[in-house]
Structure 1
């Protein structure tokens, strides 16, 4: 198994690397987030990444998020002494596949690594992107380029539905079912109202046209075109 071990505690890194090497694994050690990002870009790739949360230049959460945004889907096992529920949620939302608290039993580490290696890399984008429009479903945040856009919960749900099916025409009933819920007692006309709200926030301030009306059918989100 080819392993990228991201750990800034030199003694722990040596111990884990030695244990893995003795069982036949090929281990690359990175001591910073930047080194981890550079190593993960290796064309040969890795079977699993062991990623410490507390690194000297950036948190492991940020490293994991950057890996996923750059299209690296190698399974990530986060290693940390921070085992509070909020920290575990942050790790998983950043794109990690599993979470192991320190101190840990080496046999448990191996078992989790085997499970992740069997799963293999599976693309699971943590941030949706359509052109320069980005949406982070976990953090409930949206950007057009580098500008963050404030949306209501309903606007966010409607935009997420559209961004998960870019370039596809979605009917009002489809949008209503996904953004309001199939049991929601409301008219499909409310979709038109919220589409107008969205356009006022994600398109018009930027001089673009990405949320398009398909007459008689519904709406489609495309890469931004200058209006």
Structure 2
């Protein structure tokens, strides 16, 4: 099991994309990632996340919000998977409706965590990241 020291060592090689339309959530998620030494970048909606990948960038981990304007997390996850993106995608949402969560998971998530994201939830997600 990863503890925070092991997580820091493992995380040093990981890159992450935070996909969320809320600047507050972006800031919280970025700070949690930075505290573990994870290099990260932000996209404000699913379309921006897809566009970043179309430009050639790749990430080990994508933290994906479900409810966003322009392209939501479910659609973005489906699109990224259809593009062949193999990154670990973790849904992070405050949505409590089981059918919405199930649709999100079925779109291609590797993990789902309810907001607010905490360091322990992030470490749980990181345990699923496959670093080649």
- Name the TM-score, length of structure 2 as normaliser: 0.81
Question: What's the counterpart of residue 41 of structure 2?
Answer: 28
Identify the match of residue 3 of structure 1 among 10, 13, 16.
16
In structure 2, C-alpha distance between the alignment counterparts of 1:7 and 1:110, rounded to whole Å: 19
**CA offsets per residue over residues 5-40 of structure 1, 9 Å max, x none?**
001110121122022113211101000111110123
State the Cα distance separating 1:44 from its structure 2 match.
4.7
List gaps (5 residues or longer) in structure 2: 1-13
Q: How many residues align?
A: 119
CA contact (8 A) 2:90 2:110 kept: yes
Question: What's the counterpart of residue 94 of structure 1?
Answer: 107
* Higher relative contact order (Cα pairs below 8 Å, separated by 6+ residues): 2
In structure 1, C-alpha distance between the alignment counterparts of 2:32 and 2:67, rounded to whole Å: 22
In structure 2, C-alpha distance between the alignment counterparts of 1:55 and 1:41, rounded to whole Å: 19
Moved over 3 A (4+): 41-44
List gaps (5 residues or longer) in structure 1: 122-227
- Name the TM-score, length of structure 1 as normaliser: 0.49
Could you say what the CA RMSD is over the residues aligned between the two structures, in angstroms? 1.8
Structure 1 residues 15 and 104 mapped into 2: Cα distance closer, same or farther (>3 Å)? closer
